[in-house]
Amino acid sequence: MSRFLSDRFKALEAYVPGEQPKDMKYIKLNTNESPFPPSGLVYKRICEEIEKLELYPDPEVSGLKQKLADFYGVLPENIFISNGSDEILNFSFMAFCDKSRPVVFPDITYGFYKVFADLYALDYEEIPLSGDFTVNISDYTGIGKNIVIANPNAPTGLSISLSDIEKIVSSNPGNIVIIDEAYVDFGGESAVKLTKKYNNLLVVMTYSKSRSMAGARLGFGIGSAEIIKDLEKIKYSTNPYNINRLTIAAGEAALDESEYYSDNCKKIIENREYTANKLKKLGFEVLDSKANFLFARSDKIGGKELYLALKSKGILVRHFEKDRIREYNRITIGTKEQMDSFIKAVCGILGE
């Protein structure tokens, strides 16, 4: 730490991204990326766009907004485009929460929520999930606080029904409810249609998972025009050109080949169920995931021990050194071949 750092940030614990080691080639099942490459049109449009790289991108991102609006059946004024969904989450914590507007989220969820809450020195509460890691809906109904929920949740993969989401949104009309749908395309129920009925709902999505573009950094949010305007205010006060030209081109192209991506989601769901069954046969407890990962533990081996043993065999999964979940590992779903290698490695480690 330099002596120049503001006192505000001295105690801040930054988010720790999943490891991206370069010492050898791993089967990467640790950061919930897609195992499939982007579609052909994405490459083509990026190559065309390179010729215009000397020009700033469109700060309004209007072409992509229109395409997303058509895709999701909303208006462009209901869409905010961000540099990964982390950015829209950041802007939302910045825009809508302060000392007098507290925010709550589950104790076991995407670790960045707590980092944003600390970054902005907010009054926040981490509400414990139930013993089976489900969200207790009554903890969130009529609480008069801002709410952030990942649905499906990470790292558990468990999802909440649309009717329960509606109960939360409708019972907190004076507060913003942010539903982070990073993993919704793998079997969850999207709350986008509720944004037409409730102007306190912001649904956050990303191209990083189901649209194979984690490296391009593209996320978006859908909500009422007023909420979107507030987010635009923050964007124009920090980084007006937040999305680069190549990413905009890639994001538009991906929407023209949506069948390719929905087919990939189907494959990932199939591979998830296949892997879950294999793990259960090996005695693992596996949560009922609706995401592109599994969350599993075994009585036969500790969470960290399994993580390290897999790593030594060239397979990376994500282990969280955190109360309640340290016996678990989060396993991203890859191709069938990758999942077979993973299962083979687990069998070897367990001596089965």
Residues that bind ligand PMP (CB under 6 A): 32, 84-86, 110, 150, 154, 180, 182, 206, 208, 214, 219
The continuous run of DSSP H or E covering 79 comes out as strand 79-82
Nearer to ligand PMP, 200 or 292 (CB): 292
**Buried-exposed string 247-267: b where 16+ CB fall within 10 A, e elsewhere:** bbbbbbbbbeeeebbeebbee
Nearer to ligand PMP, 278 or 318 (CB): 318
Dihedral sign for Cα 4, 6, 12, 17, please.
Answer: negative
* Helix, strand or coil, per DSSP, at residue 48: helix
CB of 7 to ligand PMP, least distance (A): 28
Nearer to ligand PMP, 113 or 342 (CB): 113
CB of 344 to ligand PMP, least distance (A): 27
Nearer to ligand PMP, 216 or 339 (CB): 216
Nearer to ligand PMP, 185 or 301 (CB): 185
CB of 129 to ligand PMP, least distance (A): 14
Nearer to ligand PMP, 18 or 302 (CB): 18
CB of 296 to ligand PMP, least distance (A): 17
CB of 3 to ligand PMP, least distance (A): 32
Nearer to ligand PMP, 32 or 78 (CB): 32
Nearer to ligand PMP, 30 or 338 (CB): 30
Nearer to ligand PMP, 57 or 84 (CB): 84
Residue of this chain nearest to ligand PMP (CB atom): 84
The residues near 183 (Cβ < 8 Å, ≥ 6 apart) are 32, 150, 152, 154, 157, 209, 290, 291, 292, 293
Instruction: Name the pairing type of β-strands 146-150 and 177-180.
Output: parallel
CB of 208 to ligand PMP, least distance (A): 3
- Beta-ladder partners of 187: none
Burial class (CB in 10 A: 0-12, 13-18, 19+), 336: middle
- Asked if 186 contacts 152 with a C-beta cutoff of 8 angstroms, the reply is yes
CB of 268 to ligand PMP, least distance (A): 15
The two structure tokens encoding residue 12: 């801040």
Determine phi and psi for 153, rounding to 5 degrees.
-80, 155
CB of 15 to ligand PMP, least distance (A): 10
Nearer to ligand PMP, 150 or 177 (CB): 150
Choose among 149, 141, 146: nearest CA to 167: 141
CB of 330 to ligand PMP, least distance (A): 10
Choose among 265, 263, 32: nearest CA to 154: 32
SS3 content of the chain, % helix, strand, coil (to 5): 40, 15, 45
The two structure tokens encoding residue 94: 């910045």
**Distance of CA 33 to CAs 9, 157, 278, 313, Å?**
30, 15, 22, 20
CB of 184 to ligand PMP, least distance (A): 10
**Rounded Cα gap, residues 63 and 65, in angstroms:** 5
